[in-house]
Amino acid sequence: MNQAVLKDLHPEHVEVEICRADELAQRRGLASELDEMWSYVGKKAEPRWLWHAIDHHSGTVLAYVFGRRQDAVFLQLQTLLEPFGITKFYTDGWGAYERHIDPEQHHVGKENTQKIESKHINLRTRIKRLVRRTICFSKTTTMHDLVIGLFINRYEFGVAL
């Protein structure tokens, strides 16, 4: 507690509310980090983007989609996130986020997207076809999406297929 502030406050100006941690988290709502990660299929002229969202506090992957870096793909991700009731989105400020997320819920900045950027590093380390300079790459979008999707399902959701 800030003792200096407490000395200057009058008791009638202070309101104390005691609640359980899980109730407080429910009141605050779910916060999510959103980001996209670049890779390619066949050649670098054919980019493929992994768009995904994680829980800001736990780092759990909530949803992901593959596609181009376009608004339509982000809208697919946003549709997958609707059941979670997310009240705060942390992003890097890419235009699709600015156009489709309510400004009151949208917070831009790298300081709140560290967990999702860390996930990118882990993915690039573990899946060779995501490394930018590699001789290992997917020849079809189906195989690209399948390999990365299987990895995410296995290591993030615990689903061994």
pLDDT digits (tens, 9 = 90+) for 18-73: 766 666 555 567 899 999 988 878 777 888 899 999 999 888 999 999 999 999 99
The string of pLDDT tens digits covering residues 71-89 is 999 999 999 999 988 999 9
Amino acid 17: pLDDT: 66
Spell out the domains of the chain, with CATH numbers in brackets.
Answer: 30-155 (3.30.420.10)
Residue 33 amino acid letter? E
pLDDT over 60 (residue 135): no
Q: What is the pTM of this model?
A: 0.76
- % pLDDT > 90, the chain: 36
Cα separation, 103 vs 88, in Å, equals 10
Q: Is the pLDDT of residue 5 over 90?
A: no
